[in-house]
Structure 1
């Protein structure tokens, strides 16, 4: 009679006890994890799609792109948005805007470590706003002395700074205390007054040397002196012509001819916007298809096959893209949905449509409540971080996975108990069999 291996037998029987449950729990865990991964991928694709929508549907961007062509780009730059009308213009730049900059008349032997008065007030005024700086509060290191460097820091970092930048400039062994307006234009002229009772300090801020005078930007729509003169504190003239921002960069010489500016539709840039929209949408559809397919002999069943929520998303997006906006459908401007549910564009048809009805295309996509607004609104219930469908679905799956983990932990304890019981039983059986063999041996 052969002896038994108690460890081997206990392992086998304990495994048989828990194996069906292990397999069932693992299948459930794998299913939940696959669904969790699929929902994460689907949510990511939809968030990317929403980001693309927002990038072409903001206050500064749209589906339609225009471009400006200049006969000379040395004196100003142009940004033309979707509202800009095609046309030709003449621009003359008389002067560019500049900020006010002054130097205080400090004694030549002073430097950044020189002490300044620690009593009194330094007042700085720009465009009607005044900072009354209390000099007793600028000692930042607490050593009882306030220095030129600490004065500059106190001005620059003060929460009530009206738009002044203080700088220490060192040259030829001398330190200069400079003050500049942070904004250009005559309205931002800087005025300073020191009232400390310290003569050299008060005189320094009274006797200012002007380094750069404040001035407004001046341009002419048309020729110099005969066109329409425009003045602005900033170098950027926003929306002077509908949809066009002009930024002056360099003044022309008086008598020079005005610079020609032509505004035209930028068909290639607009098509890039359309393709970005299409690519992002098609990524959503590809992701959705890969996780909702029912499976066949050649393909595996998707983790979210026949999921009603995802099918609802697909249906809503599809219906919106087939709907009319501003009296037109996407198919009328060369954008269509193919048999696979993906968007595609006929470039020639779209460019021709842009040429003849650019404003209609703009309204279709970017008009209030039209395509892009409608698409974003349809996604909101699903993508809200705290209460959106994806968030709640993923939370539920994580709870299920945690429960499976708990069951598997209990199963391990059950295995350990069964193993211990079987080991004890087979050890005793083995001892009995050994005794029986020994007894049998006594009888030859």
Structure 2
């Protein structure tokens, strides 16, 4: 006898029974899988947040690893149109009177004009030189002005000459310009004809015209004459670069150089803010909420503990700066009982005014400076292939293993369900057969002689 519907023979709801039995084994395990997956995802998210905060902290550190960011000069030129200026930390504060007599210019010479710029010029070579460095280009008998210009400009050994074609009412001519300004950079052109005299007629001695003389810049600083090959005058004032833009000897402008205390304080404040933000993030990622009995994503994580330990150790250490040991507290950066930093403005102002060198050394001394040590520490975590990447790779592998376990368990549950259905269906068939036999037996007994059917 074949059953066409589950439970027909026994009257049992086999689908429900099997579902309950399978769920009894499946649901607890799936809940464990879900919890494990949630934990992994929470850790991945937490580590991502930690990496972001470390990167932000590293950005703030970079401004303190550079000594120039801790010994800044503020430069003012008023509304002068004659020059701009920049200053490094070696520049002394003070005021300077500036007069620009002459701007530097490049040397430009030109060959004779021709009516047709596409016509061939001649055959031979041109020897060119600037500032004592020479090179040569060969000229074919079919080369036009444009061909000659291209050969000069693309020459591998070009020593600093640019060739251009100028078209005017008088015709077209080739112009040779020095790439650099100043009298040291005068251009020389010698024409060598191998056939005819075309090159010499255009570029030979007496056939070249000076369009612009090579000139040095001339500037007066507090009445002292300074000459430069370019319009950038470096270290005439120690640590200062002047960029000359206009010349007028009758106009005097004032250059003012001051120590930029506010920018230094901003960089230090940026460090303090980024440090505190990182400390807050580390605390949030590692705390335990007693009221809700809930642990944060990285609560108890060894990497978090290591970061906290390294940072607190670094900010409490003293740094030897030229025989004087200095710590954050000495320049007005204080630590509270929660490990967060704050700035005592009066103390920091005094430290800046008294000796910027100590602040520079505290943060930016190579290897031992606080900013350098913290930057090295942070880099070990955030760099490609660093500790955070290693942890993420580990979590990725853990997630992959969990997915494999889910798949294997799902297959196991499918097999269990199939086995239970097979067993219950077999039982259902047996019960159906027994019921059929029982009904047949009763009918047979009822038909025996002398048996009175019950009404």
Fold match by TM threshold 0.5: yes
Query: What's 2:331 paired with?
Result: 333
Q: Runs of 5+ in structure 1 lacking a partner?
A: 137-144
Q: Runs of 5+ in structure 2 lacking a partner?
A: 1-6, 444-455
Residue by residue over 1:218-263, the C-alpha shift from the partner in whole angstroms, topping out at 9 and shown as x without a partner, is 223321xxx2x3332232223333332222222222xx36433222
Residue by residue over 1:186-236, the C-alpha shift from the partner in whole angstroms, topping out at 9 and shown as x without a partner, is 33333334546474455444444333322222223321xxx2x33322322
Residue by residue over 1:293-347, the C-alpha shift from the partner in whole angstroms, topping out at 9 and shown as x without a partner, is 2332168422222333332322322233233333333223332223332222234
Distance in 2, Cα, partners of 1:4 & 1:172? 110
Q: Shift in Å at residue 169 of structure 1?
A: 4.8
Query: What's 1:163 paired with?
Result: 160
Q: Shift in Å at residue 427 of structure 1?
A: 5.1
User: How high is the TM-score relative to the length of structure 1?
Assistant: 0.80
Distance in 1, Cα, partners of 2:299 & 2:39? 12
* Residues 238, 374 of structure 1: alpha-carbon distance in 2 compared, 3 angstrom cutoff: farther
Query: What's 1:142 paired with?
Result: none
* Residues 12, 118 of structure 1: alpha-carbon distance in 2 compared, 3 angstrom cutoff: farther
Distance in 2, Cα, partners of 1:208 & 1:116? 18
Query: What's 1:140 paired with?
Result: none
Contact 2:122 2:198 survives alignment (8 Å) = no
* 1:264 aligned onto 2:258: yes
* Residues 427, 343 of structure 1: alpha-carbon distance in 2 compared, 3 angstrom cutoff: same
Q: Secondary structure at the match of 2:326?
A: coil
Query: What's 1:141 paired with?
Result: none
* 1:32 aligned onto 2:44: no
* 1:79 aligned onto 2:97: no
Q: Shift in Å at residue 118 of structure 1?
A: 10
Query: What's 2:447 paired with?
Result: none
Residue by residue over 1:89-141, the C-alpha shift from the partner in whole angstroms, topping out at 9 and shown as x without a partner, is 3333232222333444341322xxx26579754544333344434567xxxxx
How many residues align? The count is 426
Distance in 2, Cα, partners of 1:22 & 1:189? 84
User: How high is the TM-score relative to the length of structure 2?
Assistant: 0.78
Q: Secondary structure at the match of 1:67?
A: strand
Distance in 2, Cα, partners of 1:411 & 1:157? 70
Distance in 2, Cα, partners of 1:210 & 1:354? 56
* 1:45 aligned onto 2:53: yes
Is the radius of gyration larger for structure 1 or structure 2?
Answer: 2
Distance in 2, Cα, partners of 1:121 & 1:35? 73
Distance in 1, Cα, partners of 2:190 & 2:277? 63
| Residue pairs, 1:419-430, within 5 angstroms | 419-426=417-424
Query: What's 2:95 paired with?
Result: 88
Q: Cα RMSD between the aligned structures?
A: 3.6
Residue by residue over 1:156-196, the C-alpha shift from the partner in whole angstroms, topping out at 9 and shown as x without a partner, is 45544433334445556965544433332233333334546
Query: What's 2:185 paired with?
Result: 188
Query: What's 1:308 paired with?
Result: 302
| Residue pairs, 1:53-64, within 5 angstroms | 53-58=61-66, 61-64=68-71
* Residues 118, 429 of structure 1: alpha-carbon distance in 2 compared, 3 angstrom cutoff: farther
Query: What's 2:114 paired with?
Result: 107
Distance in 1, Cα, partners of 2:24 & 2:154? 74
Q: Secondary structure at the match of 1:241?
A: coil
Contact 1:237 1:246 survives alignment (8 Å) = yes
**Greater shift after overlay, 317-326 or 425-434?**
425-434
Q: Secondary structure at the match of 2:70?
A: coil
Query: What's 1:375 paired with?
Result: 374
Query: What's 2:388 paired with?
Result: 390
Contact 2:113 2:170 survives alignment (8 Å) = no
* 1:237 aligned onto 2:233: yes
* Residues 181, 401 of structure 1: alpha-carbon distance in 2 compared, 3 angstrom cutoff: farther
Q: Shift in Å at residue 424 of structure 1?
A: 4.2
| Residue pairs, 1:273-292, within 5 angstroms | 273-292=267-286
Distance in 1, Cα, partners of 2:53 & 2:338? 18
* Residues 213, 416 of structure 1: alpha-carbon distance in 2 compared, 3 angstrom cutoff: farther
